[in-house]
Amino acid sequence: MTLSATLAELVRDFRANGRIVIVGASLAGLRGAEALREEGFTGSLTIIGDEPYEPYDRPPLSKQVLKGWVPADHTALPRFREVEAQWRLGVAAIGLDRATKQVRLADGEQVPYDRLLIATGTRARQWPDPAEAALEGVFSLRSRDDAARLQQALAARPSRVLVIGGGFIGSEVASVCRELDIPVTLTERGSAPLVGALGGVIGEIAAQMQRDHGVDLRCGVSVASLEGDAAGHVRRARLSDGTTVEADVVLAALGSIRNVEWLQGSGLAAGFWGVGCDAGGRAFDINGVVTDSVYVAGDVARAPHVLYEYQFLAMEHWDNAVFGAEVAAHNMVNLEPHYRPHLLLPGFWSGQFGVNIKSVGVPPFADEIVFTQGSVKDRCFAAAYGRRGRIVAAVTFDHGKWLEYYAHLIEESAAFPPPPPGWDRPDVMKPVPAEFPAPGVPTAIPDVVLTGHDPNERRAEFRPRGH
């Protein structure tokens, strides 16, 4: 038997009899399981999740659920096919032994695997003072249960909501409050909301949009402390500028933490920004050597991207979870030369204050921005981001139909500033500094993070005291 025939037989045997374990029972975990079955894997499949629920959709949690349009328990993800898996829900993975190929669970069970997919995602960063975080009325927002509790608090018509952090989650929740005619104050340590993700130029537009809708926006300040009453309910916040905000509901929208603690001691390149992997989802060990049996997908993955100087990108995006899991699943049941790369161009959308904001590419990679279409005054426009003479990202406010055009230019590394596609050109089309915060300046961490070239890089942990 030739070598190629022997390898083909090994692949067939693994697809029929192998053991695959997926740690993480959310979007990436589910889509990875479906893709494995679609690829012809008929062996043992186990899906482990720390929440007691089957996979559910997270984007509606900060929008439709908080508005009361959809109950939190009605957000289950659709199933595209039967996965025929053993579901281990409500029990967390707490350790990984790569030598014996076993995942250790919180209940003491050891789950063996031949190949492992890590899709543990992220969790919400909690308010850093435990006693203040335990006050009634203090919330974070990431899970289904978080959304249900916050929705109940908003339905009770609080006198004022304080949102700490002006990223996308914080801004969307502030928008919901105004739609519900609830007074809301938003504090942001940076110069403007969304400044970490979209830069200061767009951040100022977002700031004015919030103020026009009645948000009490406080930028350049942090929350020094939260105070409660004798019954243990939050009542006010003291800010770094000496002022106070009276509020009986507080949302700490301080970004996310990647769920990698359970990998300590595993020898994988896991740290603050996630688990390092190659473009095919294969995890790196701490020495930068690619593994053959451990794969990564979703928010917890950080992989090099050819369009961004091969820097490792950590992306908290819906499409990244779906397509990254599909690529990882394909590669788990194949061998070279049949591996596929996951080279998704990052993209996201956010609905807030009546405007649909969409972006493609990696805006924080840029140093310049130019408005290419529409009207900033009307908040209906497109803008392109550039770096070193090429386009690297684009953002639209209620102008999303043109996003595909800009995505094509980014994929081609086209020149910046780009030629506008439409007739609605602004009066001024001159590039200006994008005004992203300098490294180390405290602000909301964007949904796409450039984390350098080292697969084992571990930067200083971001520890906010408030926003």
pLDDT digits (tens, 9 = 90+) for 59-118: 999 999 999 999 999 999 999 999 999 999 999 999 999 999 999 999 999 999 999 999
> How confident is the model at residue 445, as a pLDDT?
56
Please measure the distance between the N-terminal and C-terminal CA atoms of the chain and give it in whole angstroms. Answer: 65
Helical packing angle, 168-179 and 144-155, nearest 10°: 30
Task: Tell me the two tokens of residue 370.
Answer: 């130019």
Q: Which fold has domain 347-450?
A: Enolase-like; domain 1 (3.30.390)
Tell me which amino acid residue 132 is: E
Instruction: Note the pLDDT of residue 227.
Output: 98
Identify whether the C-beta of residue 316 lies closer than 8 Å to the C-beta of residue 256. yes
Q: Note whether 3-55+75-123+257-332 and 126-254 share their fold.
A: yes
Residue 467's pLDDT is what?
Answer: 43
Q: What is the CATH number of domain 126-254?
A: 3.50.50.60
Q: Is 45 helix (H, G, I), strand (E, B) or coil?
A: strand
What DSSP state is assigned to residue 299? G
Distance CA 73, CA 282 (A): 34
What does the CA dihedral 307, 286, 257, 69 come to, rounded to 10 degrees?
60
| Alpha-carbon span 209 to 211, nearest angstrom | 6
Q: What is the pTM of this model?
A: 0.93
- The pLDDT of residue 451: 63
- Mean pLDDT estimate for the chain: 93
139/244 Cα distance (integer angstroms): 19
Q: What CA–CA distance (Å, rounded) separates 388 from 332?
A: 37
250's tokens: 């507080």
Q: Is the distance from CB of 394 to CB of 357 less than 8 angstroms?
A: no
Q: Assign domain 3-55+75-123+257-332 one CATH number from 3.30.420.40, 1.10.510.10, 3.50.50.60, 3.40.640.10.
A: 3.50.50.60
Burial call 331-369: b when 16+ CB within 10 Å, e when fewer: bbbbeeeeeeebebbbbbbbbbbebebbbbbbbbbbbbb
Task: Please give the average pLDDT of every successive group of 10 residues along the chain, which has 467 residues.
Answer: 82 93 98 98 98 95 94 94 95 98 98 98 96 98 97 98 97 98 97 96 98 98 97 98 97 96 97 95 96 97 94 91 97 93 92 96 96 94 96 96 95 94 83 88 60 56 37
Q: Do 212 and 222 touch, CB atoms closer than 8 A?
A: no
Give 186's strand partners: 163, 217
- Angstrom distance (rounded) from CA 152 to CA 236: 20
Taking the domains of the chain in order of start, what are their residue ranges? 3-55+75-123+257-332, 126-254, 347-450
With residues binned 3-state (H G I as helix, E B as strand, rest as coil), the percentages for the chain, rounded to 5, are 25, 30, 45
| Residue 351 tokens, joined | 């609905």
Q: What is the pLDDT of residue 2?
A: 87
Distance CA 128, CA 137 (A): 15
